Structure 1
């Protein structure tokens, strides 16, 4: 890493053809707060100013987590306007990844849960450590995925698997994620960076205009349906955030106990 956009939350580096973005909150398992999401958008804008750019990677600092989700303790006390702003910011960050002009590779080095998995799924390719664990556990908090998970998980795994993972909130191992189509490649933790570099080099060595236009067409193939689904997801997330079940789910999470949901 050679350059810093935000010394507290997002680092960038790389060379003339590859940009590396690192979410840098390892003590918080790289949880997505407002600073991270804003920093991610700014980082993407900055690195794409380089005309020779051919690929972007995104990973998390440390060895435990790619991104372990949202910052639940912080979220729990947000009011309606603040939570709406947060969810809309998260959606903008995911769209910024998806609409980057070059392929974006998620290098999943640990937990990718909730918003972390949604971030990975907004990338074009997901390369995971064999020690990575992935899931959409939002129903355990009384909410649903709010950064595109209900839409992009279906695109990656099909509706049946998406139902299973979202309804249960279960966390799965990297090898099962590979079998389900949720990730594209699994390598040993010790060789993760080398594996990511090898794949990036495959992209770098191809015709850049052809790769970029292929990315645009692949994105546009499902964009119309995706955008309407994302809007409905935001609206439903905000409705659920006002429920007693959401309050109980987040309180139970912070108290490290089982939630007692009432359906209210």
Structure 2
């Protein structure tokens, strides 16, 4: 265990291309891509992002995580040179690192403006909520490099929009504007560019008002049953519902409902 902690500390000694801000008062953590102007994501950065997500998942002061970026663009993608220099074994782990928002038990919001290409799009797809703006362009442009998405992009996208639209995006390296992404169900919200921060803050406040235990349970259930047959999914939902029935948060929610007051959830 000490070796793992030491390895994580060494890996995070100097964050590469991003920073982390934690607001205990708001119960939120912001992972901010910060390599302007295009916030290109390096190989080291992918690994560091995974460790940061795992650390924030263990931090009881953090209820919601936001992934955002400085400047006009979320990210134009990964470091192309890094792919050439990396071994096949290293490259094969990329999807695991980028999937860290999905594995995180807490709600994760991606605030996207401008270019959201390649790994920037894949990282956003691994989040629970994507807020786009009128300037947002989503794309998986790997075909232009003689390659395919390698960090879960095409697979996650197909789950959301179906095989036809995914082929249209992946095989043609098409750029999808934020409004169209919202219509297709890729983005959960589309706002004016100047309203991105306001919309993100509002969603954070909304999510924090719910029971953290119920939020974690809902996220895990939905992730775990995405590919499950209906009968198994319903069975798992029933077990999850049953466990929450004995929680203090459920009791508080019921009492608050009958007393016509706002519930105060503790996560127990």
* TM-score, normalised via structure 2 length: 0.75
**How many residue pairs are counted as aligned between the two chains?**
216
Among candidates 85, 93, 113, match of residue 90 of structure 2: 85
User: 3-state SS of the aligned residue for 1:197?
Assistant: helix
Contact 2:15 2:45 in 1 (8 A): no
* 1:15-73 alpha-carbon deviations (Å, 9 max, x no partner): 2311110122114x11221221122112212222321422101012222x212111123
1: distance between equivalents of 2:201 and 2:227? 29
Offset of residue 223 of structure 1: 6.1
Among candidates 28, 38, 41, match of residue 18 of structure 1: 28
Among candidates 143, 146, 151, match of residue 147 of structure 1: 151
* 1:98-140 alpha-carbon deviations (Å, 9 max, x no partner): 1101011001122111111111000001001210111111111
User: 3-state SS of the aligned residue for 1:66?
Assistant: coil
- 1:38 corresponding residue in structure 2: 47
Structure 1 unaligned segments of length 5 or more: list them: 226-264
2: distance between equivalents of 1:224 and 1:91? 21
Closer, same or farther in 2 for the Cα pair 1:8/1:94, shift >3 Å? Answer: closer
- 2:176 corresponding residue in structure 1: 172
Contact 1:97 1:122 in 2 (8 A): yes
Which sits farther off after the overlay, 206-215 or 30-39? Answer: 30-39
Closer, same or farther in 2 for the Cα pair 1:5/1:204, shift >3 Å? Answer: farther
Offset of residue 196 of structure 1: 0.4
Contact 2:30 2:66 in 1 (8 A): yes
Structure 2 unaligned segments of length 5 or more: list them: 1-11, 230-268
Question: Is 1:62 aligned to 2:62, yes or no?
Answer: no
2: distance between equivalents of 1:42 and 1:142? 30
Closer, same or farther in 2 for the Cα pair 1:55/1:148, shift >3 Å? Answer: same
Offset of residue 94 of structure 1: 2.1
2: distance between equivalents of 1:10 and 1:39? 9
Contact 1:5 1:43 in 2 (8 A): no
2: distance between equivalents of 1:141 and 1:173? 22
Closer, same or farther in 2 for the Cα pair 1:87/1:193, shift >3 Å? Answer: farther
Contact 1:21 1:59 in 2 (8 A): yes
2: distance between equivalents of 1:18 and 1:51? 10
Higher relative contact order (CA 8 A, sep 6+): 1
Offset of residue 7 of structure 1: 4.7
